[in-house]
Structure 1
């Protein structure tokens, strides 16, 4: 594609304008960060792998009634997306206790959460993306009560679809982060990406707590074989997608 203006560069992607005002180009990077960018590195091939995984999952979710910003992929590490105004919240869905939830509550890693827990985090690097209560969100006018209800409903539905899909991949969906945006008609669309960068994924065929990890925790915790884990997720997603789209 011809060169276009860079609009924004984040931790994992660079966003460019295109010849169409309502369409943007996301370039997925190999850069890796953790702990609010205090730890930095590179995961070889990550951009292309995550782009392919996200594209397949977006298409699968679209086929199951979830509106997304995905359009197509003009290159292996590039995704054309509908322009949206991002809601400044990270919506985290947790099926199993892990990570910060265990650190903050004392819950044992691996505790199954019934029902799944939905949390809202303020997208603000300077503040460290803090967890916010519903009342704080409303006080800060980050979303309306109706939008919060819609975000929760969509997140739980996405969780149902992804849990079933990853189960067919032989993977347990532990938890994941979602971002949403509003298009020009004020429709809520799933945005950003769904990938091993934004999900905790455990290999069902492994019982060892370290060996089962198939996501960015391998980078966070210096477990090694990060690229291999990401590649394995991609291979399983590609092998499974055709059997469930539209199902």
Structure 2
């Protein structure tokens, strides 16, 4: 099959006029790709986690690109015209927001904060507002507000299931694409794109890798999360 594109952690192959295959690699990266390693089996874990979470979103009436699984690490998804914007919803403060703003680690946001970032490693994913996105022809203000509404709905679904797992959803990142004029959730939903803690503050997500924990500990956390998710989904 023809490879359409390849990113740091996934490959995209053409399937037919309406669908593509999204193959998850075993790569793990941080710092806009400056740090990179291989964790055997990570692609399978992220594909399986994403598939389960996409199904939960679809069940709650949120349209995603997910169609099904070709194999354990490859999803069949709708062919989208992806928008190079990363949309982040924050329930609790951690990561870049505590470096950019006078906000303390762990502060709760009620209501949650939604932020837009240009997907551009060379510029370190700069923050965007409605005006930037309109000028860059990424999305207009009406679309951006619709995306914010979808992010809130996704947050309700994810927070509910993660709470059932005995865990806390700090934040998550989604990407969107267009199909037949509609904005649809694409890419993935995994521990590469979420921050999840247990009630003691123990980290279960890719922050373990960012902070330099051993690769086997990172993988064990991804396995634990998927096992817990399967038990409640």
Same fold at TM > 0.5? yes
Q: Report SS of the residue matched to 1:159.
A: helix
| Pairing 1:33–2:29 present | yes
Q: 1:223 aligns with which of 213, 221, 224?
A: 213
Q: Give yes or no for contact 2:130–2:140 (8 Å, CA) kept in 1.
A: no
Mind listing any 5+ residue stretches in structure 1 that lack a counterpart?
242-247
| Pairing 1:235–2:227 present | yes
How far off its partner does 1:139 sit? Answer: 2.1
Q: 2:14 aligns with which of 17, 39, 59?
A: 17
- Structure 2 CA distance for aligned equivalents of residues 199 and 186 of structure 1: 28
How many residue pairs are counted as aligned between the two chains?
Answer: 231
Counterpart mapping for 1:1-247 below 5 A: 4-18=1-15, 20-183=16-179, 185-204=180-199, 207=200, 209=201, 212-224=202-214, 225-241=217-233
Aligned alpha-carbon RMSD (Å) = 1.0
How far off its partner does 1:36 sit? Answer: 0.5
Mind listing any 5+ residue stretches in structure 2 that lack a counterpart?
none
The superposition leaves residues 180-226 of structure 1 with CA deviations (integer Å, 9 ceiling, x where unpaired) of 1111x11111100000000001023xx2x4xx100000101012310
- Structure 2 CA distance for aligned equivalents of residues 23 and 101 of structure 1: 36
Over 4 Å off, 4+ runs: none
How far off its partner does 1:106 sit? Answer: 3.2
- Return the TM-score normalized by structure 2: 0.96
